[in-house]
Amino acid sequence: MTTAATRPASLDTLSWLEAEAIHIIREVAAECERPCLLFSGGKDSIVLLRLAEKAFWPARIPFPVMHVDTGHNFPEAIEFRDRRAAELDVELIVASVQESIDQGRVVEEVGPRASRNRLQTVTLLDAIAEHNFDALFGGARRDEEKARAKERIFSFRDAFGQWDPSNQRPELWSLYNGRLNRGEHIRAFPLSNWTELDVWQYIKREDLEIPSIYFAHERQMFERDRMLFPASEFVPRLPGEDPFPARVRFRTVGDMTCTAGVRSEAETLEQVVAEIAATRITERGETRADDRFSEAAMEDRKREGYF
């Protein structure tokens, strides 16, 4: 036996990230009783679903996928979600924020800045309880946001679904601890070490299909808080917020009420990768209204049990 290093320098970054993510997905499937993968039809969850497909091939993905539907999503993303789930022959659970509202579990915000973004947490936690899920895969990355930069790959949630950022479990090497007591669950983030650019480069390498709104297209937009939002029936506009046609693409795909578009001419994957490689603004900074409430908006939402 020698002490020669055998970690090959030849494994390029994407292959290394892919291997790590597959390892994490298999650990969750092996250690947890009832995992579920959160799938929104957005780029990160598309990559996540592909990795899950690879992790268990030639078997089917051994867990359902779930979408928390605010009812205010881009129709393109919903159509994509349904088609992809059918192709993979996986069970698709749709947890509906509208139902939570109808049942009186949450109260809808009113006014021009109303959003169902925060209400999703209640719908999500109710669905976890209803289906007895003990692990949820999410596509969150540490490069997205400063609270996420702190989060473990196996991130523990107590019986109230809450994250306690000042008391996280130690996480050593790649030895993930999936043990839980009743009512607790794990949020698992296989893409923790990926950057936005890695995700796009992977989509390109794997030639993954993504919803059309990720590419430049003409759409009626209006301006608010120096961001461009899609004009839709879900967002009442204030005086002066007149819609106008603009060539945009979406860098993230979330609820229409809080997801802004960016002006872009990128019509192909190659052009999108080139655009992301040169950007000077983070994806959430450029497109997410929900992080602007306070300097710890994401941390506060995550503490409550948000994605």
Q: Which two tokens stand for residue 105?
A: 């579990």
**Helix axis angle, 43-56 relative to 13-31, nearest 10°?**
70
**Under rule CB under 8 A, residue 179 binds other proteins:** yes
DSSP 167: G
**Under rule CB under 8 A, residue 249 binds other proteins:** no
**Under rule CB under 8 A, residue 273 binds other proteins:** yes
For the bound state, the minimum distance from the C-beta of residue 99 to other proteins, rounded and expressed in Å, comes to 32
First to last CA, the chain: 46
For the bound state, the minimum distance from the C-beta of residue 152 to other proteins, rounded and expressed in Å, comes to 8
Give the residue, chosen from 104, 107, 110, 175, that forms a contact with other proteins under the rule CB under 8 A: 175
Rounded (10°) CA dihedral 125, 127, 130, 136: -80
**Under rule CB under 8 A, residue 162 binds other proteins:** no
* Cβ partners under 8 Å of residue 293, min gap 6: none
Residue span 32-71 as binding mask against other proteins, x where in contact by CB under 8 A, dash where not? ---------------------xxxxxxxx-----------
Specify the stretch interacting with other proteins by CB under 8 A; choose among 124-132, 178-186, 209-217, 255-263: 178-186
Q: What is the DSSP string of 236-292?
A: PPPTT---EEEEEEESS--BTTTB-EEE----SHHHHHHHHHT--S-HHHHHBGGGG
Cα(192)–Cα(245) distance, rounded to whole angstroms?
Answer: 36
**Under rule CB under 8 A, residue 1 binds other proteins:** yes
For the bound state, the minimum distance from the C-beta of residue 82 to other proteins, rounded and expressed in Å, comes to 23
**Helix axis angle, 196-206 relative to 13-31, nearest 10°?**
90
**Under rule CB under 8 A, residue 271 binds other proteins:** no
Rounded (10°) CA dihedral 230, 236, 241, 244: 40
**Under rule CB under 8 A, residue 134 binds other proteins:** no
Specify the stretch interacting with other proteins by CB under 8 A; choose among 130-138, 147-155, 237-245, 255-263: 147-155
**Under rule CB under 8 A, residue 192 binds other proteins:** yes
For the bound state, the minimum distance from the C-beta of residue 30 to other proteins, rounded and expressed in Å, comes to 5
Specify the stretch interacting with other proteins by CB under 8 A; choose among 15-23, 66-74, 122-130, 250-258: 15-23
Give the total of residues touching other proteins (CB under 8 A).
79
3-state helix, strand, coil in the chain (%, to 5): 35, 15, 45
